[in-house]
Structure 1
Amino acid sequence: MILSIFMVFGAVVLFASIIHEIFLEKEQEDDLLIFEFFRTNIIRSGLTRYMIDVTNLCSPVFVKIAFPVLIAVLLIFKYYRKAAFTFLAGIGGLVLIGLAKVLFRRPRPHYPLEFPETGYSFPSGHATFSFIFYGTLAYFVWLSRIPKALKLFLMFFLMLLSLSIGISRIYLRVHYPSDVAAGFCLGYSWLFLLIYYFRLKYPIG
């Protein structure tokens, strides 16, 4: 628990630091350097199709289907507290993303790799929501009674998937790297606070 509190404190500090650099100091050099690194070292025609598939694992269409299905499955098997947790995680995440985008109003990066995106850029909704959704699944895996080795593997896989979705947004140049980093910080902080609240008030595992 102490480590978790330390990590969420670090996430909040990093989120505040990004806001300071991008919106107060007007610094974008690091973002542009990372874009250039991707352009010269990572972007390949064969990899682009894969990155589009990865980014779609947290697209608005996917989220609109995946969250209700997960809640429905939990309700069918009478995991009512987990269903409530999932509902609050999703709704709270959407509210936080919407408020942040309206508050900061950061334009999208120029010259997207494959397709333009609409809406504001900061923070990355894909990064934020992928951490909330796949982090919720990882938390439920942690609470399960499956063998520890399988549990750790599944949790690692889910977190790696979330990280890959964030990287895909940078690769496709539809978000600045700082948008993605801020999204992960926001998603992690919200998920941690929700886990902490449920553990105190309504234990679900």
Structure 2
Amino acid sequence: MISYITCKRKYFLAALAALTALVASRSVFAIDLALIKLIQSAPLEVFDRLSLFFTILGSGEVTGVITAALAAWLYLKNHKKAAFYLLLFFGLSVAVELSMKFSVEQPKVFAQFRRGLKIPVPIYSPFTPYAYPSGHATRSVILSIVFFYMAQLKINSEKIKARAKTFIVSVCALMLISRVYEGSHWPMDVIGGICLGSYLAALIIERFQKDNF
């Protein structure tokens, strides 16, 4: 999986560019409507709670702390370049996400699709006029790919390695679905975040490998 992502990173960038053009032209809005209705068709209390958890977990504050802690660990392990590029590309993801949310005219999710779930802790959310792409999706994909790579590299037991990878992929998938389920984003916002996050994660992994990590 990791080798595929790093080798095919240009495809993720091309997919992001193509999807952005489609979203900006409103060519896929009917698909957004159909998918959000499908995902929200069977509301469950347990998933309401999970959605709140993932909203907090994928926030800029929490993912920022996780990224900073990981960078500090890499630095202490003498992988200073890896630490630097992790912080650089994570920061770049935020800058690109926000710039696109001011320029790609994708309306925010309509009120009737918002589940109105109340987050129990304060989370900073900068004002942006548009919704595309999802920052939660972008950050979650970046960290999931990085942790997947680390599990593949650092865990010796094949059984534990497989479980760790399954856990990472499952958490990421639930995070992505929850953004649409709770009405925070359209499906195309999430897919755009996946493309952006995958491309930047591939660049991070490439720098990790050059730093012998």
What is the deviation of 1:50?
1.6
TM-aligned CA distance change 1:145 to 1:167, over 3 Å = closer
The TM-score with structure 2 as length reference comes to 0.81
Give the equivalent residue in structure 2 for 1:18. 19
Structure 1: which 5+ residue stretches go unaligned?
Answer: none
TM-aligned CA distance change 1:67 to 1:198, over 3 Å = closer
Between stretches 163-172 and 60-69, larger displacement belongs to 60-69
Q: 5 Å matches for 1:109-124? A: 109-111=109-111, 112-115=114-117, 118-119=127-128, 120-124=130-134
What is the deviation of 1:27?
3.4
Number of paired residues?
A: 202
What is the deviation of 1:154?
1.4
Give the equivalent residue in structure 1 for 2:175. 165
8 A Cα contact 2:82 2:204, kept in partner: no
Residues of 2 paired with 1:2 and 1:197: CA distance?
Answer: 13
8 A Cα contact 2:74 2:83, kept in partner: yes
Give the superposed CA RMSD: 2.5
Cα deviation digits, residues 102-134 of structure 1 (max 9, x gap): 221433101221259753310000000111122
Which of 175, 200, 212 does residue 204 from structure 1 map onto?
212
Letter in structure 2 aligned against 1:37 = L
2:28 match: secondary structure: coil
Letter in structure 2 aligned against 1:166 = L
Residues of 1 paired with 2:201 and 2:46: CA distance?
Answer: 35
8 A Cα contact 2:6 2:205, kept in partner: no
Structure 2: which 5+ residue stretches go unaligned?
Answer: 119-124
Percent pairwise identity: 21
Residues of 2 paired with 1:155 and 1:85: CA distance?
Answer: 23
TM-aligned CA distance change 1:165 to 1:105, over 3 Å = same
1:193 match: secondary structure: helix
Q: Which has the higher helix share?
A: 1
TM-aligned CA distance change 1:2 to 1:121, over 3 Å = same
TM-aligned CA distance change 1:83 to 1:34, over 3 Å = same
The TM-score with structure 1 as length reference comes to 0.84
Letter in structure 1 aligned against 2:101 = K
Give the equivalent residue in structure 1 for 2:122. none
